[in-house]
A and B are shown apart, each in its own frame.
Chain A
Amino acid sequence: MKKARKNLTNIPAHLFLAVAAALLAFPVYMAFIGSTHDAATIGRGRMPLTPGAYLGQNYVQAWAYGTGERVSGTPVRVMMVNSLTMALAIALGKIFMSVLAAYAVVFFRFPLRNFFFWLIFITLMLPLEVRIIPSYKVASDLKLVNTFLGLTLPMMVSATGTLLFRQVFLSMPKELLEAAKIDGAGPLRCLWSIVLPLSKPSLAALFVVMFVYGWNQYLWPLLITTTRQMDTVAIGLVRMLGTSESLMDWNLVMAATIMTMAVPVSVVILLQRWLVKGLVEIGK
Chain B
Amino acid sequence: MIRREAVFSNKLLPYLLVAPQLILTGVFFLWPAVQALQQSVMKSDPFGIRTRFVGWENFKALFADPFYLGSIRLSFLFAGAVAFLAMSLALFLAVQANRQLRGSQIYKTLLIWPYALAPAVSAVLWVFLFQPSIGVVSRALQGLGIPWDYHLHGGQALLLVILASVARQISYNFIFFLAGLQAVPKTLIEAAMIDGASSRRVFWSVVFPLLTPTTFFLIVMNTVYAFFDTFGVIDALTKGGPGKATETLCYKVYLDGFRNFRINSSAAQSVVLMAVVILLTAFQFKFLQRRVHYEGGG
What residues make up the interface of A, taking CB atoms closer than 8 Å to B?
Answer: 10, 12-14, 16-18, 20-21, 23-28, 30-31, 34, 42-43, 45, 47, 49, 96-98, 100-101, 103-110, 113-114, 116-117, 119-120, 123-139, 142, 153-154, 156-158, 162, 170, 174, 177-178, 181, 187-188, 190, 212, 215-219, 222-223, 233-235, 237-238, 241, 244, 246, 250, 253-254, 257, 260-261, 264-265, 267-269, 272, 275-276, 279-280, 283
* Cβ-closest 8 pairs across A and B: A134-B35, A216-B118, A134-B32, A104-B17, A21-B110, A109-B6, A218-B232, A108-B14
A135 in contact with B112 given A17-B93, A250-B128 (CB within 8 Å): no
Residues B8 and A264 in contact, CB atoms below 8 Å apart: no
Quick one: which of B6, B32, B267 contacts A107, CB cutoff 8 A?
A: B6
Residues of B within 8 A of A139 (CB): 28
Residues A45 and B21 in contact, CB atoms below 8 Å apart: no
Q: How far is the CB of B269 from chain A (nearest CB, A)?
A: 9
Q: How far is the CB of A17 from chain B (nearest CB, A)?
A: 4
Q: How far is the CB of B19 from chain A (nearest CB, A)?
A: 8
Residues B8 and A212 in contact, CB atoms below 8 Å apart: no
A174 to B131, CA, bound (A): 60
Q: Does B41 contact A (CB under 8 A)?
A: no
What residues make up the interface of B, taking CB atoms closer than 8 Å to A?
Answer: 1-2, 4-11, 13-15, 17-18, 20-22, 24-33, 35-36, 39, 89, 92-93, 96-97, 99, 101-102, 107-129, 131-134, 136, 139, 167, 170-172, 175-176, 179, 217, 221, 224, 227-228, 231-232, 235-236, 250, 253-254, 257-258, 263, 266-267, 270-271, 273-274, 277-278, 281
Residue of A with least CB distance to B288: A284
Residues B13 and A108 in contact, CB atoms below 8 Å apart: yes
Q: Which secondary structure characterizes the binding site on chain A?
A: helix
Q: How far is the CB of B39 from chain A (nearest CB, A)?
A: 7
A110 in contact with B14 given A244-B127, A257-B121 (CB within 8 Å): yes
Quick one: which of B7, B28, B92, B107 contacts A157, CB cutoff 8 A?
A: B28
Residues A107 and B8 in contact, CB atoms below 8 Å apart: yes
Residues B121 and A261 in contact, CB atoms below 8 Å apart: yes
What 16 new A-B contacts, CB under 8 Å, besides A20-B111, A104-B15, A106-B4?
A13-B96, A16-B96, A24-B114, A45-B139, A104-B14, A127-B228, A157-B28, A157-B29, A187-B8, A237-B121, A238-B123, A241-B127, A253-B128, A267-B116, A269-B113, A283-B217
Q: Which secondary structure characterizes the binding site on chain B?
A: helix
A120 in contact with B116 given A25-B110, A27-B129, A280-B179 (CB within 8 Å): no
Residues B129 and A21 in contact, CB atoms below 8 Å apart: no
A170 to B26, CA, bound (A): 26
Residues of A within 8 A of B21 (CB): 97-98, 100-101, 120, 157-158, 162
Residues A100 and B20 in contact, CB atoms below 8 Å apart: yes
| Complex A-B: 21 CB contacts under 8 Å | A13-B99, A17-B110, A27-B128, A45-B139, A47-B136, A106-B4, A108-B13, A110-B14, A124-B281, A130-B273, A131-B35, A138-B27, A174-B7, A187-B10, A188-B13, A215-B118, A216-B119, A219-B232, A238-B236, A268-B115, A279-B172
Q: How far is the CB of A121 from chain B (nearest CB, A)?
A: 10
Q: How far is the CB of B41 from chain A (nearest CB, A)?
A: 14
A60 to B217, CA, bound (A): 45
Residues A27 and B125 in contact, CB atoms below 8 Å apart: yes
Residues B281 and A125 in contact, CB atoms below 8 Å apart: yes
Residues A275 and B115 in contact, CB atoms below 8 Å apart: yes
Quick one: which of B27, B120, B128, B179 contacts A30, CB cutoff 8 A?
A: B128
Q: How far is the CB of A92 from chain B (nearest CB, A)?
A: 13
Q: How far is the CB of B212 from chain A (nearest CB, A)?
A: 14
Residue of A with least CB distance to B107: A17
Residues A246 and B273 in contact, CB atoms below 8 Å apart: no
A10 to B104, CA, bound (A): 11
Residue of A with least CB distance to B270: A130
A98 to B24, CA, bound (A): 12
Residues A116 and B274 in contact, CB atoms below 8 Å apart: no
A49 to B15, CA, bound (A): 61
Residue of A with least CB distance to B251: A129
Residues A126 and B274 in contact, CB atoms below 8 Å apart: yes
Residues of A within 8 A of B136 (CB): 30, 47, 49
A18 to B27, CA, bound (A): 48
A107 to B111, CA, bound (A): 40
Residue of A with least CB distance to B1: A114
Residues A45 and B133 in contact, CB atoms below 8 Å apart: yes
Quick one: which of A14, A100, A127, A267 contacts B277, CB cutoff 8 A?
A: A127
Quick one: which of A47, A116, A129 contacts B228, CB cutoff 8 A?
A: A129
Residues A283 and B134 in contact, CB atoms below 8 Å apart: no
